[in-house]
Structure 1
Amino acid sequence: MESPSADDSGVSFSPLVYNNKVVNYTLMVTFISFLQVLLLIRQMEHSSTQYGAAKVSILMIGQQAIMDAYLCFLHLTGVTLRESLFNAFATAAFSKFVVVSIFEKRYLLAIWEANRPLSHELSVFYSRYYGILLGGLLLIYEFHHYLKTIFLLMSSFWVPQIITNVIRDSRKPLHPHYILGITVTRLAIPLYIFGCPNNFMRIEPDKRWCVCLTVFIGFQAVILLLQHYLGSRLFIPHQILPEKYCYCRRFDQDTRHAMDCVICMIAIDLSQGTNDCMVTPCDHFFHSGCLQRWMDIKLECPTCRRTLPPA
């Protein structure tokens, strides 16, 4: 960041124009932070159970939390530009601080505890988080001449979730609104920095890089949405996938244990085949919708508590 003065192309801003640009930018950052808080709350409600939180990649949320922490530090340095801009940059920094410290860190802890239900070593969590945070700051300072490349690497925050979905065959770990909303809000600041002409930071616009960044993040979001609606492993050849249990398998009606679904306590109509019926490996019968909603909470049979394979 620079104070108001002429740049290499001779373009200069008056103090009033410069202040207006900074205020408009900080208002945009504050509004984006507010939207991200709403999206995080929506996602936390979507994965409110222990099993739901375990399906979310901790690397994905952690990478976004570290990005917001860096943005908080960046806006804190902005308060040194001019005394009249202190409130504007302080507001932007505070909004990012709220996102990181109250919501993203809380969600990180929930995911950490969901994946380690018997472990209470929070010191390990905090040491790793702050170690990566400080190490990343040193790397950014050392390689600050490659800022665009660093932005591209940090914009791959959806990749850990895509890989997690494939490995665990996770079923709808992220809410679609969260995927779309975070994708758009994460693009706003870098597109302003490298795409807005005559921005107050005096960084020369690079439209080609902005297009590459948009396509890169958008492509990740499209893959996540396809995994959400069509299955986590839709682009993996079936020949190399492990055999998966079929809950709609054929069954011998003489071997069924009960005619009632113990989830909703309504009789199961088996006369129309298996379209509205799912059979667990332990030969217990449930309505398809009932068992799918149950498995979104926990992977165990509602009747005998046996562990169930992913649907």
Structure 2
Amino acid sequence: MYAPNCGLSLATNGTGMKIETYYSKAVSYAGMASFLAILQIFSLIHQMEFTPTPSSVTNVSYWTIVMQAIMDGYLCLLHLTAGIVVDAVFIPFAATAFFNFVLVSVFGMRYLLVIWRIQRPEVVRTTRPRPQPAPRVEEEIEGETPPAVPANATPVREERSSPTYDVGTLYCKLYISLLVGLFLFYHTATSSAFVQNIVIAIVGLAFYSFWIPQSIRSISRGCRRPLSPKYVVGMSISRLAIPLYFYGCPENVLAHKTTPWIWALVVYMAFQVLILFLQDLLGPRFFVPERFLPQTYNYHPILATEDEETLQGEEEAGGSSGTHSRDCAICMLPIESAPSTSTGLGVLGRAQYMVTPCHHMFHTDCLEKWMRIKLECPVCRAYLPAC
């Protein structure tokens, strides 16, 4: 360009992008991001239907859903900010931000609240101090008053909670995480390009490790198929689409340079998905050495000798022989228990009954069906570890 009145000339060696082309690419990207958000919403709804009972929800990792919710919160804020900065694409970017907001605030937080309420007894059980044995109280003698309670005794408080408190706590934690992350992000944006790349690589690797907590939870609980295969595949593909667009597509809306390292992220995600599927197929602990496996409760123990003697006495009083019987509190039918032996018949006999940590016996089929609905003892309502 040459200005004859000023005597100035401007020249460029590069090629730019027309503003119409830029707006067209921005609208296309917003449409793609909205479609991905809708796909993630339906995938999450399918996962919620896949785990309809407390017993199935307790196998889902809380931190896997938390990491995905934080990612959706950041995408919502970034799309909304981009729509505010560029007025011409405000409507498509605002629509994308709305779908991300629905995903994280409606469905994501609802599922998190369900997981939190069901898995909270595990946290209370591991963090609550062991109760001290109460002092032995002698029989009260007529005319004497019972001993006074010590002044330094601490009263036992029952833990109470309400749905409003739980929802408020979860939302506060989410918003605090988003604010802290945004502060670090904007503080890093003013740094050098090298620092930005390092921070983006660390944050991306951390966020895209959201299947690892689920693998660890499956190992600790020894459970298979905690997540729906459609949910795993749908979430993995949809969450890889945006980084692949910016770092793998040379014609992206930001004209960001492509990098081959993005395919390392794809391989990393594929490896996590492969581990999840192998855990469903070969068992959740197939790659963990036996000495590192966490201990799980055995619902089919060998009956103690005193229990057998008691059952034997009941058996002789009833006139039956050869088997021991007790009544199942669920179906009210007798439980056939074999005597403790190391032979194969003894193992088959133990498979017919289940004994809870609170020492209540049930039929195996009855208690397994009960635990699909509630992880509480049908007799005393004590917490039952998943089998």
Per the normalisation by structure 1, the TM-score is: 0.81
The yes-or-no answer on 1:229 pairing with 2:281 is yes
3-state SS, counterpart of residue 323 of structure 2: helix
Distance 1:11 1:255 in 2: 88
Distance 1:156 1:188 in 2: 16
Match of 1:119 in 2: 161
2:175 to 113, 130, 133: 130
The yes-or-no answer on 1:196 pairing with 2:249 is yes
1:186 to 239, 258, 267: 239
- Residue 187 of structure 1 and its aligned partner are, at CA, apart by 0.4
Distance 2:13 2:223 in 1: 52
Gaps of 5+ in 2: 1-11, 122-159, 190-195, 309-321, 339-344
The yes-or-no answer on 1:220 pairing with 2:272 is yes
Match of 1:4 in 2: none
**Residue 220 of structure 2 contacts residue 294 of structure 2 at CA under 8 Å; is this kept in 1?**
no
**Aligned pair in 2 of structure 1 residues 257, 303: CA closer, same or farther (>3 Å)?**
farther
Residue identity opposite 1:14 in structure 2:
K
Question: What's the CA shift string for 1:242-300, capped at 9, x where partnerless?
Answer: 555566789997124469x949x9x99x9x9949x64312553344xx75554333335
What is the aligned residue count?
A: 297
The yes-or-no answer on 1:254 pairing with 2:323 is yes
| RMSD of aligned alpha carbons | 3.4
Match of 2:34 in 1: 30
- Residue 111 of structure 1 and its aligned partner are, at CA, apart by 1.6
Distance 1:42 1:9 in 2: 53
Gaps of 5+ in 1: 1-7
Match of 2:210 in 1: 157
3-state SS, counterpart of residue 297 of structure 1: coil
**Aligned pair in 2 of structure 1 residues 254, 141: CA closer, same or farther (>3 Å)?**
same
3-state SS, counterpart of residue 234 of structure 1: coil
Match of 2:226 in 1: 173
Larger displacement relative to structure 2 (301-310 or 81-90): 301-310
**Residue 162 of structure 1 contacts residue 223 of structure 1 at CA under 8 Å; is this kept in 2?**
yes
**Aligned pair in 2 of structure 1 residues 227, 301: CA closer, same or farther (>3 Å)?**
farther
2:261 to 201, 209, 212: 209
**Residue 33 of structure 1 contacts residue 95 of structure 1 at CA under 8 Å; is this kept in 2?**
yes
**Aligned pair in 2 of structure 1 residues 242, 195: CA closer, same or farther (>3 Å)?**
closer
Question: What's the CA shift string for 1:21-47, capped at 9, x where partnerless?
Answer: 112111111111111111111111222
Distance 1:59 1:212 in 2: 23
Identity %: 39
- Residue 301 of structure 1 and its aligned partner are, at CA, apart by 5.9
Match of 1:239 in 2: 291
Distance 1:60 1:200 in 2: 30
Match of 2:48 in 1: 44
3-state SS, counterpart of residue 284 of structure 1: strand
Per the normalisation by structure 2, the TM-score is: 0.66
**Aligned pair in 2 of structure 1 residues 232, 191: CA closer, same or farther (>3 Å)?**
same
